[in-house]
Amino acid sequence: MHIHILGICGTFMGGLAVIARQLGHQVSGSDQNVYPPMSTQLEQQGIVLMEGYRAENLDSKPDLVIIGNALSRGNPEVEAVLNRGLRYVSGPQWLAEHVLQDKWVLGVAGTHGKTTTTSMLSWILEHQGFNPGFLIGGIPLNFGISARLGESDFFVIEADEYDSAFFDKRSKFVHYRPRTAILNNLEYDHADIFPDLDAIKKQFHHLVRTVPGEGLIISPECDANINDVLAMGCWTPAAKTSIDSHAQWNAQLINSDGSKFDVLMDNQQQGCVEWTLTGEHNVYNALSAIVAAKHVGILPKDAIAALGQFKNVKRRMEVIAKIPVLSPSAELRTGGVEGNGVTIYDDFAHHPTAIQTTLDGLRKQVGQERIIAIVEPRSNTMRLGVHTKTLAESLGHADLAIIYQPEAMGWDLGELKKYANNIEICKSLDEIISKLKFEARYGGHFVLMSNGSFGGIYQRLQDALKS
């Protein structure tokens, strides 16, 4: 069967394309934003990519068109699908019908941490020989690919609350029917489709309704919004997690940055996680993955051993360069570290809470060394200005925060300065790079935070600093 995918370079749709290819289908796709790492992954799989949305992309008469949720009526290729009477379906529905049937689905939902937790859980199952299938909204470094069919009855999936398609406004995760469900956290996000937090809670409640009574729901003890969802109705046993508290599953921090912690179940120590990741958010992610793995029969000590070999996900505080820089004396500037050079990170930041927890973990790791956060407010919620105050406050752990304001931005980012004094606004990438070349003389950690391509700044900055 020839399957054509609209929006193929999105993280979810790209993973779907890989799985369809592994099922033996001929796969092609189109997108207007074709950039690595997804474009590279797809090309390596032998999938034909078409730049831009055009009616002629469908001249090959595909047997089925899978339409991504980023496309809507008025898109020329969508209109051609409808006018020509081609068969079409949403990505989540196709996945549910052709892949997830008869699988033990482990779904990871929440505002933050879905990709990382899904990657952790997939790796734990892989480490223990389960050979799971998975679909992840990023590329886990332990696998080097975002999706695969696997060769077992287990399938791990990132369960997104975003809508399924222009013709199916249910959240994606309602299609998946997990037996093991992780609810990482819940905050207001996706302001383009959800009017308020209660609307998101309702969708999470619909997810809870699909988890069987013999399944398991895993969530942090302290998340009031998740607790509200469960209070709306829950027919499944629930396992709670905590950090330095008293939940059934508790992490006791040994290192304050989260790089080393003990895992306790019912106050009985199960082992110690020691890894390269930092931040309390990742400690919660790890606990959830350990609990979910136990639900399918993996002992906590074995899950802990697997996490010790976990390599994280591309674009999640991924170190992309370490550049030695000849610095002036540290005495010339508070916090300057002579000869320390610059470490550049790529982080897929999409929400103020994710920014705050990431920078908090880095601060605890590097102490007084300088941190510069460079943020592209690209998510729909941040572009709408919903999180103005919380965005400014989330950058408190940075010595300097540089925010990119492109021409198409719908509001003046200068408003952020009302809530923080470490923020500078730049209206071009050249201006950002110029500032960073100056700041590089004093060494430190440059964290590039965006859920998009950020105009290709990643390589441009490296080239500028090396020169």
Task: Identify whether residues 322 and 303 lie together within a single domain.
Answer: no
Query: What tens digit of pLDDT does each residue of 224-250 get?
Result: 999 999 999 999 999 999 999 999 999
Residue 331: per-residue pLDDT: 44
* CATH number of the domain that residue 65 is part of: 3.40.50.720
DSSP 368-388: TS-EEEEE---SHHHHTTTTH
What per-residue confidence (pLDDT) applies to 385? 56
Q: What is the pLDDT of residue 337?
A: 41
CATH number at residue 402: 3.90.190.20
Q: Domain for residue 97, yes or no? A: no
Cα gap 442→396, rounded to integer Å: 20
Mean pLDDT of 180-202: 87
* Residue 446 shares a structural domain with residue 298: no
CB 138 within 8 A of CB 304: no
Query: Does residue 338 register a pLDDT over 50?
Result: no
What size, in residues, is the chain? 467
Average pLDDT, the chain: 90
In this structure, the answer to whether residues 128 and 158 fall within a common structural domain is yes
- The arrangement of strands across the sheet holding 238-243 comes to 147-148, 133-135, 154-158, 104-109, 180-183, 216-220, 238-243, 249-253, 260-265, 268-274
Determine the distance from the C-alpha atom of residue 413 to the mean position of all C-alpha atoms in its chain, rounded to a whole number.
Answer: 24
Q: Is residue 312 part of a domain?
A: no
Question: In this predicted structure, what is the pLDDT of residue 38?
Answer: 72
- Residue 219 to residue 226: CA distance in whole angstroms: 7
Is residue 295 located within the same domain as residue 195?
yes
Q: Could you tell me if 271 and 351 lie in one domain?
A: no
Question: Would you say residue 230 lies in a domain?
Answer: yes
- Please say whether the beta carbons of 34 and 51 come within 8 A: yes
* Least reliable range by pLDDT among 61-65, 94-98, 380-384, 459-463: 380-384
**CATH code of the domain covering residue 132:** 3.40.1190.10
Two structure tokens written together for 389:
């105050």
Two tokens at 253?
A: 């921090």
pLDDT in tens, 15-39: 999 999 999 999 999 999 776 667 7
* pLDDT tops 60 at residue 86: yes
The per-residue pLDDT for 380 is 60
Average pLDDT for residues 82-94, to the nearest whole number?
A: 98
Q: Look at 205 and 320; give whichever has higher pLDDT.
A: 205
Q: Is residue 117 part of a domain?
A: yes
Type and span of the H or E element at 51: strand 48-51
Taking the model in full, what pTM does it have?
Answer: 0.83
Residue of 263, 260, 257 lying closest to 279 (CA atoms): 257
Q: Which of 307, 338, 367 is the last residue of a domain?
A: 307
Residues 273 and 195 both lie in one domain: yes
Per-residue pLDDT at 410: 67
Q: Residue 81 falls within a domain, yes or no?
A: yes
**234, 265: one domain:** yes
User: Which residue would you say has higher pLDDT here, 329 or 141?
Assistant: 141
- Count how many domains the chain has: 3
Report the pLDDT value the prediction gives residue 336, as an integer from 0 to 100.
Answer: 42
**Model confidence at 349, in pLDDT bands (50, 70, 90)?**
confident
Out of 286, 307, 328, a domain closes at: 307
User: Of all residues in the chain, what percent carry a pLDDT higher than 90?
Assistant: 70
Q: Which of 252, 280, 307 corresponds to the end of one domain?
A: 307
Q: What percent of the chain has pLDDT over 70?
A: 93
Whether the per-residue pLDDT at 386 is higher than 70: the answer is: no
Same domain, 265 and 329: no
Alpha carbon distances (Å) from 404 to 67, 245, 375 = 31, 39, 6
| Residue 95 lies inside a defined structural domain of this protein | no
Question: What pLDDT was estimated at residue 348?
Answer: 84
85 is in which domain, residue-wise? Answer: 2-90
Residue 377 has pLDDT above 60, yes or no: yes
pLDDT per position as a tens digit, 180-190:
999 999 987 76
pLDDT, position 187: 86
pLDDT for 382 equals 60
- pLDDT tens per residue across span 159-177: 999 899 999 999 999 999 9
Tens of pLDDT, residue by residue over 417-456, are: 888 889 999 999 999 999 999 999 999 999 999 987 888 8
- Domain match, 358 and 433 both: yes
pLDDT confidence of residue 378: 74
Same domain? For 126 and 62 the reply is: no
Evaluate whether residue 195 is within a structural domain. Answer: yes
- Pairwise CA distance, residues 333 & 217, whole Å: 50
pLDDT of residue 325: 76
Residue 367's CB is within 10 A of a number of other CB atoms, namely 7
In a domain, 313, yes or no: no
Strand extents, DSSP E, 301-341: 318-323
Q: Are 408 and 330 members of one domain?
A: yes
336 and 429 both lie in a single domain: yes
